[in-house]
Structures are given as structure tokens and as C-alpha cells.
Structure 1
Amino acid sequence: MKTRTQFFRLCFLILVFIFQACGQSSKKNNTQTSTMGNKINKPGNPYYSNTDSTKLNVTDAEWKKVLPEDVYAVMREADTERPFTGKYWNTDEKGTYYCASCGNKLFRSGTKFASNCGWPSFFEQDNKKSVVYKNDNSLGMERIEALCGRCNGHLGHLFDDGPPPTGKRYCMNSIAMDFIPDNK
């Protein structure tokens, strides 16, 4: 009986992703970023700093003014990008991943692994404060939502089916992250 319930939950989840994919616009991420040394500049976003880890308390109305519409939808409204479409789901370049809203350091590329789920996956966060968690009971299932530890922006979800040494899989939205290669 438990297997049958799991099967129906999986089917439901697949249908939700299909409907989300059909309903999402094809707006291009218009985030203005430029890599200068090991910093990312985001003109128009006064909250972005990949060197400051001070906790932010910014209203959704203010985030809406400074974030591109597609980034806002994922990070502030917990939307999900379509699987296999994000810019980081299938990359193996060495570097560091930062929050696309505030610049908080999230993950190092050495903790990224190929999970074949369609989103970038990591087995460990950068430090114990870089990602925080919240119970998510949406879509008829129990999950753990992963949020930026600095701005509380939605990054994705945390699952217990990752590789050693942690056994965790941080399943992240590419659009919720910026990347700086080690060679910059």
C-alpha cells in the first residue's frame, strides 16, 4: 500500500511540473551581472554583496523593485524553474555559487554532483549559516525547503537521497544562484 501511495505522489508531482512548465513564461533572466575579480556587481540591487553576510530584513515589495521578475518568482514566491533548463544543472566548472538575490555564499563546486534530477544538486552547503530550512507541505507531500541564510530567498529543497559523506541532496534552482569560476 505504501508503494502505491508513493507512486501516486510521484505521478502527481510529475503532473505539477508539467503544468508549471506549460504555464511559465519564457522570459529571459535579465539580471545585470558582471564578474569583476571575485565580486559580482548587480546595478540597482543595494542588498547584493558576496562579501557581507549580515542578515537582511527586506520587504517583498522592495525585493520586487530590485529583482528581475523571473528571479523574484522563484526566490520570493517559491516558484520552480523547469527541470533541465537552468544554466547550472549540468555543469562541472570549478568555483563558488552565491545567492542571486543577496550575494550570500552558498556552495562550492566541489560539493556539486550529477543527480540527474534536472536541477543543480549539492551534498553540502558552504557553512552552517549559508542555508536555512523550513518545512514545506505543499504539493501534497512533506519536504524541506532550503532558503538563503542571509535573505531567506527560496533556493530549492533538501532531500535525504544524496551521496556520502552527508547523504543530503540540496536540489537548487539555477536561477536562484550566481556562479563565480575559480579562475576569475
Structure 2
Amino acid sequence: MNGLASQEFDALRQTIRSRGTARPIMFLVGLATWAATLLAILLLLQNPIASVVPLLVLLATFETVRSLHLGVERIGRYVQVFFEEGVGNQAPVAAPAWEHTAMIFGPGAPGAGVHPFFQPVFMLATLANLLAVLLPAPLLVEMATLLVPHVAFLVWIIHCNRKMRKQRAIELARFRQIRSALAQ
């Protein structure tokens, strides 16, 4: 690797490292903020419509975590294609080989780590957020109306999870296509 390529590789790995570290931190900070907001709503503002406030905190936290993850994945696929792969998309035997190794390891080891979006926690938190709707004893119309954003958020989480599972393959193919076009 020449000097400029080495600097680019180092910068990209540093970006992956920093965003990878920021993701669980943002998750924990966001979840703590959501919990504090929900508690404040439950104690001080017992009105079902107030449940939307902690739900928005939860949504903002989810989107922050999701964007950090998607960015890391995209950079990882770029590193894989432009720094690790040889002719014919062959996986390297020697360093740098982290991205290839991580992709091979991931699918073969179910339960080897946490969900990248912390999906189960967000889904449980969304259900817990319904306490702010249910505890003030809402009218049926209030309850039905406020279930809509909660269910919509749950559907969004599931949708994002499905898209995330396809992201690696799609972006890997796209970066290979770009590399081929640049080589011509």
C-alpha cells in the first residue's frame, strides 16, 4: 500500500472504530434520556398525549444508532473492496483482512453478539412507553389514536432490521461494480 492509500485506510479504520464506539454510547445515553422522560411524564404530566414525547426520544435514539451502524457498514464494505480484495473478489489471506474475516465469522456464529440496532431493547422500550398511554386511563379514542405512532415505530424497527440484513450484500456488489468501472 502506498503512502496515500495507507493514510486513507488508517483514516477509514479510525472512522469505523470511533463510530463503532459511539453507537453503544449513544444507545445508552438515548435510552437513559428516554427512561427519564418517560418517568417525568408518568409522574408529572399524566395525559395520554404526553406519551408521544418519550416516544420521540426513543425514535431519535434509534435513528442515531441506525445511522451510525449503516455508516460503519458502508465504510467497511468500501475497505473490503478497495483495500482487501484481490482479482476475482478473492478474500485475502494476510492483513488487511478484517472486513472479510468479520463477514465470514458473522453468519456462522448465531448469537455471537448483540443486535446492531439493539432491536429487542427498542421494541421492549416502545411497549413500556405505552404505560404513559394506559396509566392515565385514556378514553378509547385516545388509546386507539396513540397506539398508531407506537405501532408505526415497531413496524419501522422491523422494516429497518430487514433492510439492514440485506445492506452488506447490496453495498458489496455496488462497490465491486464501482471498482470495475474505475479500473476500465
Scaled by the length of structure 1, the TM-score of the pair is: 0.27
Which gives a bigger RCO, structure 1 or 2 (Cα 8 Å, sep 6+)? 2
Greater per-residue strand proportion: 1
Normalized per residue, the structure richer in helix is: 2
- Of structures 1 and 2, the larger Rg is shown by 2
